[in-house]
Copies of this chain bind each other. A is one copy, B any other.
């Protein structure tokens, strides 16, 4: 189910908005903060991605003009990732349709009880995975 769902959501986002789920995830992070700017490590923490994964992803997104890297003046090691106008436009255009798709291919098929059970499962399994140190 999970593989088919991801594939379906990925295809929808890609077709309708030329964004991947990874692009979308990063853009959501950035739009979630008022400055529309985060350091690489903050994105990594938020998404639970490796820093190298974030770095590669940002490189690709920068190439397409969705975000831009800006050196941090306080700390010469860090780099800020800023949302560009193009990136903001992209996610604003993509989000409503994406949310709608999540509903129609997934949420709408679940009863409230089923959703609650799934949430309980996920919480339990994730807690255990996190506890054992991955």
Expressed in whole angstroms, the minimum distance between the Cβ of A11 and any Cβ of chain B is 7
A105 in complex: contacting residue of B4, B118, B122, B125, CB < 8 Å: B125
Instruction: Flag A12-49 by CB within 8 Å of B: 1 or 0 each.
Output: 00000000000000000000000000000000000000
Q: If the complex has contacts A11-B134, A134-B8, are A120 and B114 also in contact, measured as CB distance less than 8 A?
A: yes
Question: B11 near A125 (CB under 8 angstroms)?
Answer: no
Residues from chain B with Cβ under 8 Å of A72 in the complex = none
How many copies of this chain are found per oligomer?
2
Instruction: Flag A93-134 by CB within 8 Å of B: 1 or 0 each.
Output: 000000000000110011001100110111011101100001
Residues from chain B with Cβ under 8 Å of A114 in the complex = 117, 120-121
Question: A121 near B126 (CB under 8 angstroms)?
Answer: no
**Complex Cα spacing A128 to B4, Å:** 11
Among A117, A126, A128: residue with most chain B CB under 10 A: A117
Q: If the complex has contacts A11-B134, A134-B11, are A121 and B124 also in contact, measured as CB distance less than 8 A?
A: no
Binding site for B on A (CB under 8 A): 1-2, 4-5, 7-8, 11, 105-106, 109-110, 113-114, 117-118, 120-122, 124-126, 128-129, 134
Q: Which 3 A-B residue pairs are closest in the complex by CB-CB distance?
A: A1-B122, A2-B2, A117-B117
